[in-house]
A and B are shown apart, each in its own frame.
Chain A
Amino acid sequence: MEQSGEYRIAASREAVWEALNDPQVLGECIEGCQNIEKVDEQHFNVAVKAKIGPVSATFNAELELSDLNPPASYVINGNAKGGAAGFAKGGAEVELAEDGDATLLRYAVKANVGGKLAQVGSRLVDGAARKMADDFFAAFSTRLDPGAASTGESESEEENKDEVPRYESSGSRSIWLIAFVVLILAVLFAI
């Protein structure tokens, strides 16, 4: 399975980068994300419970980051296991580019799917993956651009923004999560 996409996020590249470095923000933007755990600077474990249509499964993934080039690009490789539902192995390249006041995020994912998910075919992979990616980026953009959110939510967003510096020291570790979301969810919906 291969998929690529591009999203325009209404925030500066630095702001996007910072937010991408906050596992808490990312966890909240991934629907069904149950846990994000950092093993070390380049290894993460993530658990996502995803549901679309009749399918509902929990996936655990181990991720490894490489080719770090902050704040512009990243490569992520990962293994996702969904129990009886199947598994996936794959990688993704992610790039952040400046576009005026905004940031263009491009991703390209390649994944191999096995288990039941592979047996049932890929009629809906692309549609499901794109929808999940769209949902993620919609939530993510809202987090980054308080003006687009309702007044009630902007306070908590400010709070979360204040937390970003905590993660700055560990730098460029989380564009992976974007790619990962696309990867794992694409795989998950291979039914």
Chain B
Amino acid sequence: MYPFNYHKPETVADAVALFNDADDAMYLSGGMTLIPTMKQRLAAPTDLIDLSGIAEMTGIDVAADKVTVGAFTRHNDVATSGAIGETLPVLAQLAGLIGDNQVRNRGTIGGSLANSDPAADYPAAVIGLGATVHTQERAIAGDEFFQDLFETALQPGEIVTRIEFPVPTRAAYRKFPNPASRYAVVGVLIADFNGAIRVGVTGAGPCAFRASGLEEVLNQNLDPEALEGVEVPDAGFNSDLHASAEYRAHLVKVMARRALNDLLS
């Protein structure tokens, strides 16, 4: 064990004030990445600011055209929310595919997005559904939120407070999970907004991105056959012991076809 200061503020404003006063503070949400990292001594913040006591970061609000999820909402709360299941089922389904049950009981949507792991599931939903990420200071368009490997548009001290998802006509998410971690080797979310198609891809590149090439094809012809001739370039894709860049590019197409089949059925 090494010493650090533990704080549990009750408002976002208090959390930010604590962050600014500390030498080397980190926010703690579900802790599914940060705690193992600290246990391995790969991070040693002087101050840990636990966000679990902040009521304004919780809650799920479902309207006909918009689903708003508090940043501290745990994955299983999204997966099992009846209201989300009815209005935006793809989000509940996606949340139910994250990690294992233990991770889903602890991990939060805000923590996942702020961490921006290249293989996390939620970023595919933020990109594919064109969500808006709210912080204590501003609203960030989903398309601009993820910037690089573990890099987001968030500034130091900025906290994700809630995420607003527009409700599409229909949508589907498919992923190829790593069999051990259930991280998405590749995950593809396709959403149809009255004929306008959005495709969000996670796992393939350094961070989640819109597959504009696939969107162009599907906007003209919303048919799995149309995907056959599409080239997915693997430039800049992740390559590791689980999958080469070339294989990931192939998986993007396969997952897109499966998601499209789900969407059309």
Which residues on B sit within 8 Å (CB–CB) of A191? Answer: 37, 40, 42
Q: In the assembly, what is the distance between CA of A119 and CA of B36, in Å?
A: 12
Known: A122-B241, A124-B118. A131 touches B41 (CB 8 A): no
Query: B241 to A124, Cβ gap below 8 A?
Result: no
| Nearest CB of chain A from residue B43's CB, rounded to whole Å | 5
List residues 10-35 of chain B with CB under 8 A from any CB of chain A: 26, 33-34
Q: In the assembly, what is the distance between CA of A125 and CA of B239, in Å?
A: 9
| Nearest CB of chain B from residue A11's CB, rounded to whole Å | 25
Which of B26, B36, B42 is most buried by chain A, counting CB atoms within 10 A of its CB?
Answer: B42
Chain A interface residue count: which class? 20 to 34
Which residues on B sit within 8 Å (CB–CB) of A120? Answer: 36, 40, 42
Query: B42 to A85, Cβ gap below 8 A?
Result: yes
Which residues on A sit within 8 Å (CB–CB) of B149? Answer: 52-53, 124, 127-128, 131
Q: In the assembly, what is the distance between CA of A53 and CA of B206, in Å?
A: 12
Which residues on B sit within 8 Å (CB–CB) of A55? Answer: 37, 42-43
| Nearest CB of chain B from residue A132's CB, rounded to whole Å | 10
Mark contacts of B149-170 with chain A using CB atoms, 8 A cut-off: 1 yes-contact digit, 0 otherwise.
Answer: 1100000000000000000000
Which listed residue (A52, A54, A124) contacts B240, Cβ 8 A?
A124
Query: A54 to B42, Cβ gap below 8 A?
Result: yes
Which residues on B sit within 8 Å (CB–CB) of A53? Answer: 33, 115-117, 149-150
Query: A127 to B238, Cβ gap below 8 A?
Result: yes
With both beta carbons as reference points, the residue of chain A lying nearest to B237 in the complex is identified as A127
Q: Is B138 among interface residues, defined by CB-CB distance under 8 A?
A: no
Q: Is B148 among interface residues, defined by CB-CB distance under 8 A?
A: yes
Which residues on B sit within 8 Å (CB–CB) of A57? Answer: 41-43
Which of A55, A116, A119, A123 is most buried by chain B, counting CB atoms within 10 A of its CB?
Answer: A123
Which residues on B sit within 8 Å (CB–CB) of A39? Answer: none
Query: A83 to B43, Cβ gap below 8 A?
Result: no
Which residues on A sit within 8 Å (CB–CB) of B241? Answer: 121-123
Q: Is B44 among interface residues, defined by CB-CB distance under 8 A?
A: yes
| Nearest CB of chain A from residue B155's CB, rounded to whole Å | 15
Which residues on A sit within 8 Å (CB–CB) of B116? Answer: 53
Known: A53-B115, A54-B42. A122 touches B240 (CB 8 A): yes
Which residues on A sit within 8 Å (CB–CB) of B41? Answer: 57, 83-85, 116
Query: B42 to A117, Cβ gap below 8 A?
Result: yes
Q: In the assembly, what is the distance between CA of A85 and CA of B118, in Å?
A: 22
Mark contacts of A79-120 with chain B using CB atoms, 8 A cut-off: 1 yes-contact digit, 0 otherwise.
Answer: 000011100000000000000000000000000000011011
Majority-rule SS of B interface residues: loop
Query: A56 to B240, Cβ gap below 8 A?
Result: no
Query: B239 to A56, Cβ gap below 8 A?
Result: no
With both beta carbons as reference points, the residue of chain B lying nearest to A57 in the complex is identified as B42
Which residues on A sit within 8 Å (CB–CB) of B26? Answer: 54
| Nearest CB of chain A from residue B22's CB, rounded to whole Å | 14
Query: A127 to B40, Cβ gap below 8 A?
Result: no
Which residues on A sit within 8 Å (CB–CB) of B44? Answer: 56
With both beta carbons as reference points, the residue of chain A lying nearest to B207 in the complex is identified as A127
Which listed residue (A52, A83, A126) contacts B238, Cβ 8 A?
A126
Query: B42 to A52, Cβ gap below 8 A?
Result: no
With both beta carbons as reference points, the residue of chain A lying nearest to B43 in the complex is identified as A56
Query: A119 to B43, Cβ gap below 8 A?
Result: no
Interface residues of B (CB under 8 A from A): 26, 33-34, 36-37, 40-45, 115-119, 148-150, 183, 206, 238-242
17 A-B residue pairs with CB within 8 Å: A53-B33, A53-B117, A53-B149, A54-B26, A54-B37, A54-B115, A55-B43, A57-B42, A84-B40, A123-B242, A126-B238, A127-B206, A127-B239, A128-B149, A131-B148, A131-B149, A191-B37
Taking A54-B43, A83-B41, A127-B118 as given, write out 7 further A-B residue pairs in contact, using a Cβ cutoff of 8 Å, ordered by the A residue number: A54-B115, A55-B37, A56-B43, A57-B41, A120-B40, A131-B149, A131-B206
